[in-house]
Homo-oligomer: A and B are copies of this chain.
């Protein structure tokens, strides 16, 4: 029986694990993707002053290109990863099917390693961005088509981008890109309330065109996105762009606790200010929770607090 099982190996899960190891807690991390989002590579066509034609910009290779700043927090997550993986028996590559509680003991059912037991559990299994279901979307994902506009604002300076979505994140992404991009198209399948302050700012921006009620019908490009075709009531427009970003919602990876714990309507796990869920001894952290802010540094803090709270629980239940 472990003191703590952490479900998920992204920023939140690894921060929780590093904290737990520091406190000499018997911890096991069950992960499918160690490092989580920080491993995602994104490339796009980019004209530069010093190269003719198209080059690929690897945004997450620090120092490789002038447009490639290291992503804030990535080094810290790599260091946590190192701390967890250099200790024997602390990380298990597997998928968690279900978490159940009987008495004071949690059972974590895995796909390949059977059932594990623990006195506390932290769910840090993250989200999956909802994907566009149109021709070209599957082929071009991470090649000019991204699901997080805010991460790439710097690389789009002077370029043209389209943002698809009516979520607050989509609007924020468009606003951030518009500060430096030459042209931003905002494709809003659902029309925003006119008094949303960000919508008002965007509507005044000379380099932003808002396409209300339009839907994406195709994404095109050879090795990277070249154009996005949108449509409303039979009217079709083809937008020539350097990159396309969709934010049509996030799907939390919370199915393993859906019968156990309180979630919101979309499945995000409800946590309090201690990262505690509705089940004593069960904590959650990072994007899978109702907490605000999908950023590596924020996930690190949430993971650490979940581990602190799990530790509090363990100390009070010895």
A interface residue numbers (CB < 8 A to B):
15, 18-19, 22-24, 69, 72-73, 75-76, 79, 153-154, 172, 175-176, 179-180, 197-198, 201, 273-274, 291-293, 295, 297-305, 308-309, 311-312, 315-318
Contact = CB atoms under 8 A, between A and B. Distances in A.
Identical copies of this chain, number: 2
A242 to B, nearest CB: 19
Contacts of A175: 315-316
Contacts of A180: 24
A69 B21 CA distance: 11
B198 A316 contact: yes
B291 A295 contact: no
Given A19-B72, A315-B175, A315-B198, A292 B274 contact: yes
A95 B178 CA distance: 36
Given A22-B72, A201-B318, A301-B305, 5 more contacts: A197-B316, A198-B312, A274-B293, A292-B309, A295-B304
Contact of A298 (B197, B305, B316): B305
Contacts of A302: 301
Nearest to A157: B24
Chain A to chain B: the 6 pairs with minimum beta-carbon distance, closest first: A301-B301, A297-B304, A197-B316, A175-B315, A198-B316, A293-B305
Nearest to A173: B315
Contacts of A18: 72
Given A295-B308, A297-B300, A297-B301, A315 B22 contact: no
